[in-house]
Amino acid sequence: MEHHDRVVILDFGSQYTQLIARRVREAGVFSEIHPCTLPAAELKALDPKAIILSGGPASVLDPDSPGLDPAILSWGVPVLGICYGMQLLSKVLGGRVSKATDREYGRAELEVMEGAKLLDGLRSQDKHQVWMSHGDHVDAAPAGFSVIARTPSVPIAAMACVERKIWALQFHPEVAHTDDGDVILHNFLFKIAAVKPGWTMASFVESTVADLRARIGDAHVICGLSGGIDSTVVALLLHKAIGRQLTCIFVDNGLLRVGEREEVIGYLQKHTDLNLVAVDAADRFLSLLQGEEDPEKKRKTIGYTFIEVFDEEARKIKDVKYLAQGTLYPDVIESVSFKGGPSAVIKSHHNVGGLPEKMNLALVEPLRELFKDEVRKVAAELGLPDYIIWRHPFPGPGLAIRVIGEVTTERLEILRQADRIVQQELHASDWYRKVWQGFAVLLPLKTVGVMGDDRTYEHVIALRVVDSLDAMTADWTRLPSEVLARISGRIINEVKGVNRVVYDISSKPPSTIEWE
């Protein structure tokens, strides 16, 4: 395998650690996150070309706070400390850190001193906004360090010891609220550390496949394939790594959209020799959902039934040791931090929560460091077609949480027909790719209308279209009124049983994207 210069990020538990890794990847550089407890000898063996110390929630003034082996600073490998990382460098090298009376959180205006290579070439040099999020700060830099930037409230907002190649920032260059954060990270990577770029999504695929092959050996792996982009990419990566030692299980729960099963399964069967088992369990799911109106009970019934069906199928396969999941970074609620190390607490993926425990399987999650848009790039690298790459997220419980109230075959069918029109019109108007998600919801009420000369008394469809980056927050999409008009007109004319369409104009929070 081609060798890449490696940057190691030592994680002190910041919520932004993954974002640092992502920015380094965007710069075309291979990066790895390791817990800050990694012994110095193991870190050295990784041969890092640069080391970044992340932020973190602890205070270096606390005696139990995570530390740094000073040996690391004597290797001559360039080091960049961010926030907690900066305070730690100061502590280890004999500077002074003090507790702020208030936590500073938000934007601050940075004043850059002369000759600061790290802060060269900022496009907005005179009014440079940076993002602060800290309690403590350095108020006396260690001997040999110079102050390279300040803000009105933080006299040492950045410091450096050029000879020792140690640089530190009190603010976060990795977040979007810091102007030119990319310039700062590029300065560190390329001008200071002279790291060679060359890492691409193709390298990600290559190294992930090699790692999976090494880890799994000749064991068997099962993977729940939902038809969504995440599980499809996981399946293809594993297929590349271990071929037919992987079995994918697709559970048709009867809650899918029009054409869903055929599109994904059809594609995979046509283009790969993936071991794929499709289980028809629609009747089982629908009969268990009968009479149930409570959203949480509906979700629980579906989750529980999914686990049962999946378990029954998986037991037919011999020597299974691993369960593969398409967990992405936003699904991981705690980073692999110093508290967790190898046993970091993660949120079980909501679709298969409880499965690994029940089946006593180890987890394989090759996408857990990626964000959704990066998964789409991996998908493109794997040659998946656009209609799979750009498919909107679809929840595990499927249309059941979009048929508000009781789920029946008849109501599902009305929703399916309405949803098909929504998808078609979003595509036709070129809005499909611009939005995070767009779908129809069937409301549990009927309203009066008039068709021709007749009074009607029929269902209401709500249209939900949202913009979002990661589904944690979202805003309703300002769709042009012509598009709204077409969708509404077509649904009312073409879908039997619907005489009214409304548009959901709520943001998340306080509303959620799905209605149940």
**Cβ closest to ligand XMP, residue 88 vs residue 352:** 352
Minimum CB separation of residue 190 from ligand XMP in Å reads 36
Question: Which region, judged by CB under 6 A, interacts with ligand XMP, from 50-58, 155-163, 238-246, 389-397?
Answer: 389-397
Q: Which of 249, 397, 399, 488 binds ligand XMP (CB under 6 A)?
A: 397
Nearer to ligand XMP, 356 or 393 (CB): 393
Is the Cβ of residue 132 or residue 352 nearer to ligand XMP in the bound state?
A: 352
Residues present in the chain in total: 516
- Beta strands 454-467 and 437-451 are antiparallel
Site string for ligand XMP, 415-454 (x = CB under 6 A): ----------------------x-----------------
Tell me the closest approach of the beta carbon of residue 383 to ligand XMP, in angstroms. 24
- Of 28, 295, 353, 393, the residue at the interface with ligand XMP (CB under 6 A) is 393
DSSP 316: T
Cβ atoms 340, 239 nearer than 8 A? no
Binder to ligand XMP among 55, 95, 395, 438 (CB under 6 A)?
A: 395
Minimum CB distance to ligand XMP smaller for 37 or for 511? 511
Among 326, 366, 396, 438, binds ligand XMP (CB under 6 A): 396
DSSP string of 347-411?
PPPTTTTTHHHHHT-EEE-TTTT--HHHHHHHHHHTT--HHHHTPPP--TTGGGGTB-SS--HHH
Helix (H, G, I), strand (E, B) or coil at 510: coil
b/e per residue, 121-133, with b = 16+ CB within 10 A?
ebeeeeebbbbbb
CB of 239 to ligand XMP, least distance (A): 22
Least distance (Å) from ligand XMP to the CB of residue 509? Answer: 9
Structure-derived torsion over alpha carbons of residues 515, 401, 420, 505, reported in degrees to the nearest 10: 0
Nearer to ligand XMP, 40 or 346 (CB): 346
Among 271, 350, 433, 496, binds ligand XMP (CB under 6 A): 350
Active site residues: 83, 172, 174
Say how far apart CA 479 and CA 476 lie, in whole Å: 9
Residue 351 engages ligand XMP in binding (rule: CB under 6 A): yes
> Segment near ligand XMP (CB under 6 A), from 136-144, 198-206, 234-242, 391-399?
391-399
Q: Which of residues 195-234 bind ligand XMP (CB under 6 A)?
A: none
Asked if 228 contacts 326 with a C-beta cutoff of 8 angstroms, the reply is yes
Q: Give the residue with the Cβ less far from ligand XMP, 48 or 397.
A: 397
Amino acid letter at 81?
G
Beta-carbon count within 10 A of 448 CB:
10
Of 87-95, 128-136, 175-183, 390-398, which part binds ligand XMP (CB under 6 A)?
390-398
CA-atom Rg of the chain in angstroms? 26
Angle subtended by helix axes 409-428 and 481-494, to nearest 10? 150
Which of the ranges 1-9, 174-182, 381-389, 392-400 carries the binding residues for ligand XMP, by CB under 6 A? 392-400
Binders of ligand XMP among residues 454 to 513 (CB under 6 A) are 471, 508, 512-513
Q: For residues 203 and 215, give the distance between their C-alpha atoms in angstroms, rounded to a whole number.
A: 18
Q: With CA atoms as reference, report the closest residue to 193 among 130, 122, 117, 89.
A: 117
Residues 275-304, one symbol each (x = binds ligand XMP by CB under 6 A, - = not), give ------------------------------
Smallest distance from ligand XMP to CB 57, Å? 25
* CB contact at 8 A, 446 and 460: yes
Q: Give the contacts of 114 (CB within 8 A, at least 6 positions apart).
A: none
Only segment of 125-133, 148-156, 382-390, 393-401 that touches ligand XMP (CB under 6 A): 393-401
Q: How many residues bind ligand XMP (CB under 6 A)?
A: 12
168 is written with which tokens?
Answer: 């530190």
Q: Which is nearer to ligand XMP, 280 or 470 (CB)?
A: 470
Considering the complex, state which of residue 164 and residue 508 has its C-beta at the smaller distance from ligand XMP. Answer: 508
Under a CB-based contact definition with an 8 Å cutoff, are residues 134 and 58 in contact?
no
Q: Which residue, 497, 499, 501, 503, is CA-closest to 449?
A: 499
Residue 474 CB, shortest distance to ligand XMP, in Å, is 7
Q: CB neighbours of 360 closer than 8 A, spacing ≥ 6? A: none
Interface residues with ligand XMP (CB under 6 A) are 350-351, 393, 395-397, 437, 471, 508, 512-514
